Structure 1
Amino acid sequence: MTRKVALVTGGSRGIGAAIAVRLAAEGADVVITYARSAERAAAVVKEIEAAGARGLAVAAEAADAGMLVAAVERTVAEFGRIDIVVGNAGIASFGPLEEVTLAEVDRVLAIHSRASFVLAQAAARHMGEGGRIICVGSSLAERVPYPGWTLYAMSKSALVGLTKGLARDLGPRGITANLVQPGSTDTEMNPADGPGAEEERRFTALGRYGDPADIAATVAHLAGEGGRNITGTTVTVDAGTTA
């Protein structure tokens, strides 16, 4: 990925940070977006630079379409191009179906579904042959093993259709689009030592949580030369939860 430029949303922590650092290790310059902590984002940029790449952190709320478009434009302005886009920003949202408000529905869909569309649309305007668009979804789009996750699963399921549509729209230009679906992954949002962790492990075939590095490795493959003939598909990295 030498001389490639990547933009990773939600790149200040967890899976997004792991993806950003891995892409930098593969040779790409990396821009990350963050919603809250400029300090944590700066720490990830230092890791990117330690890997020998150029890094930049841009404040952008995933629910704000204008800020996402501005992040793409800033990437192109600062680095002269954009080759890889990873839509990773997300939030947890669960609870009894009867208590979900329409405001929460709009918020979750904006962050998980609309943001991925807006990001892909904005990036596609600047991408050339070999461009990569990768969304990070969830294995809950394929299997919902317990109640309370209807809205979250719905918002992530939309990414399947988005990915297939992007593959058809952008394939003639040599741009691929793929979806990576993590299962239970050890992050602040869902720690491997959290109160529900043992129950989640029982749903997996391997009996373990994933690590953000597992997701980053899959994204790196799809973003690199090895992913040149993979498009419109979903890769689920979930320790066999959906098996």
Structure 2
Amino acid sequence: MSQKVALVTGAAKRTGRVIAEHLGAQGYAVAVHAHRSIGDASEVARGIEARGGRAFVVAANLSNADEAEGLVGKVFAEYGGLDLLVNNAAVFWQEHFPDFTIEQLDEAWAVNCRAPIILTRAFYRLAKEASSTGAVINIVDQKVKQNFHRDHFSYTVGKTAIGNLTEMLAISADPVLRVNAIFPGLMLPSDDQTQADFEYASKAGNLLGRVAGPQDIADAVLLLASPAYNGTDFVVDSGQNLIPVAKDVLYLHKAPLG
């Protein structure tokens, strides 16, 4: 396998799409994962191919352990191997403790933490069998780095778990896989945030007066995919993490009226 291969979960939209397109532009053959957004994922794959790259769409519901387990095998079957797994997919909604439902907690745990672990294990087993090596990058959240607040409780439970496993996974997967993590902040309008509110929060919610956006995250993925990094937690958020908050910047910073 001469061309490097990447699997990006949640690659149909938003940051995952930018990561997939960037890796395609850098010469990776890209497995574009989606669950429900297959049409958008197909558009991403066609775009990579139109620019001279290779890509295919791979579908899986990551809240289903069996489907998550089989995802890496589909990539090996299509491309003959895998070099880079980017665990980007996540579920996200607003709720607080104690008013979450068991269904919300279970889904957020399954997608945001359990699926990355299952995918990493499947990657490890198939790579070891093929006498190959690779890299895993988990996309987490800057709030896990000592900047907690009450918002998005179930989402945060899953992200906190996977965000605190970088070193353990790196040690456990050695010497087959290197495992690193990226901790982004606000990148794109989310929840009910208006464009005006996003632009205001982009300036007010961090030290640099600009968000570290999807392209910055894609650049960080490419950096951490190189052989020099293992067990690294990389905060890419324009200094958002350095400003303690009592609630998410989505709700904290609103554009002035008028």
For the criterion TM > 0.5, the same-fold answer is yes
Is 1:209 paired with 2:211? yes
Per-residue deviation at 1:141? Answer: 1.0
- CA distance 1:200–1:79, shift in 2 (3 Å): same
Is 1:229 paired with 2:228? yes
Of residues 162, 165, 184, the one that matches 1:162 is: 165
Per-residue deviation at 1:198? Answer: 3.1
| Partner of residue 175, structure 2 | 172
1:214, 1:160 → 2: CA distance? 19
SS in 1 for 2:181: strand
Paired residue type of 1:217: D
Per-residue deviation at 1:205? Answer: 0.7
Contact 2:85–2:136 (CA under 8 A) maintained in structure 1: yes
User: Greater CA deviation, 145-154 or 80-89?
Assistant: 145-154
| Partner of residue 75, structure 1 | 75
Per-residue deviation at 1:50? Answer: 2.7
Please report the TM-score for the alignment, with normalisation by the length of structure 1.
0.90
Identity in percent: 30
SS in 2 for 1:10: coil
1:26, 1:192 → 2: CA distance? 33
- CA distance 1:197–1:99, shift in 2 (3 Å): farther
SS in 2 for 1:230: coil
Per-residue deviation at 1:99? Answer: 1.1
| Partner of residue 59, structure 2 | 59
CA RMSD of aligned residues (A): 2.2
| Partner of residue 200, structure 2 | 198
Contact 1:159–1:179 (CA under 8 A) maintained in structure 2: no
2:192, 2:141 → 1: CA distance? 13
Paired residue type of 1:139: Q
Paired residue type of 2:238: A
Query: What is the aligned residue count?
Result: 239
User: Greater CA deviation, 231-240 or 182-191?
Assistant: 182-191
Contact 2:93–2:191 (CA under 8 A) maintained in structure 1: no
Please report the TM-score for the alignment, with normalisation by the length of structure 2.
0.85
The CA deviation string for residues 31-76 of structure 1, in whole angstroms up to 9 with x for no partner, is 0111112211111001221332210101111211211222211110
| Partner of residue 240, structure 1 | 239
- Structure 2: unaligned runs, 5 residues or longer: 243-258
2:122, 2:189 → 1: CA distance? 29
Is 1:87 paired with 2:87? yes
User: Greater CA deviation, 210-219 or 199-208?
Assistant: 199-208
The CA deviation string for residues 183-234 of structure 1, in whole angstroms up to 9 with x for no partner, is 00015668671656634642311122232111101001112xxx31211111
- Structure 1: unaligned runs, 5 residues or longer: none
Per-residue deviation at 1:120? Answer: 0.4
2:214, 2:112 → 1: CA distance? 19
Structure showing greater Rg? 2
Per-residue deviation at 1:181? Answer: 1.1
Paired residue type of 2:213: D
